[in-house]
Amino acid sequence: MRRAFDVVVAAFGLVAGAPVMAAAALAIRLESPGPVVYRQLRVGKDGREFDMLKLRTMVQGAEGLGAGMAVNEGDPRITRVGAFLRRTSIDELPNLVNVLRGEMAIVGPRPTIPVQVAQYTERQRGRLAVKPGLTGWAQVQGRASLPWSERIELDLWYVEHRSWRLDLAIIRRTVTVLVRGSGLYKGERGGFDLR
C-alpha cells in the first residue's frame, strides 16, 4: 500500500510539476553555467547508497569552494535563482524520480550523506529502518532551527510511531508550509545540501 501510494503521488507530482521544473531549468541555465540537475550521494533504507536528484541551486563546483560540503545560511555559492528554488522547495521536485525508482518515499526521514551516517550511534542507525522521504516529521517540526541531534531524535520517534495517520498529518503540514511559500528549509544552517 505504501509503495503504491508513493508511486501514484510521485507520478502525479512529476506530471503536475513538469511546467514548473521546465521554467526552473531554464532559469538555472540562463543564470549560471553547469548542469540543471544536481546529483549527490545519499544513504537510504538499510544503509543503501543512491544518487539523490535535485535542481542545482549553487554555482557549479560548489563542493570545492568556500565551506566545502557544509552549506550555511546566506552562503554566497547559492545563486539568486537557487535561493528562490530553495525557499519554495521547488529544487526538491526531482526527488520524485527517486521515489519512482523506489529509493525514497513521500514521507520519511530526509536522506543524509555518508559522512553523517558514519557518525551515527547504533541507536541512531535506526533512522535507516525506513526509506528516506521528501518530507518528514523533523521537517515539519522546524528542521531549520533544530540542532542535528534533535532532528535525529524526531526521525527516530517517527520510525517508532509510523502510521498512515501520522504520514497524512505530515503531508498536510508540508502542503501548508509550501502554500505559504516559506519552504521547508528556509534559514538552514550547517546543512549538506550542495544542490
Give the position of cell 552562503. 75
pLDDT tens figures, 79-94: 999 999 988 889 999 9
Beta bridge partners of 43: 49, 112
Say if residue 186's pLDDT is above 50.
Answer: no
pLDDT tens figures, 136-166: 999 888 766 678 889 999 999 999 999 999 9
Among the listed residues 85, 81, 62, 84, the one whose alpha carbon sits nearest the alpha carbon of residue 72? 62
Give the position of cell 508550509. 177
How many CA within 13 A on the CB side of residue 66? Answer: 20
- Ramachandran region, residue 45 (left: φ > 0; alpha: ψ -120 to 50; beta: rest): beta
Greatest alpha-carbon span in the chain: 46
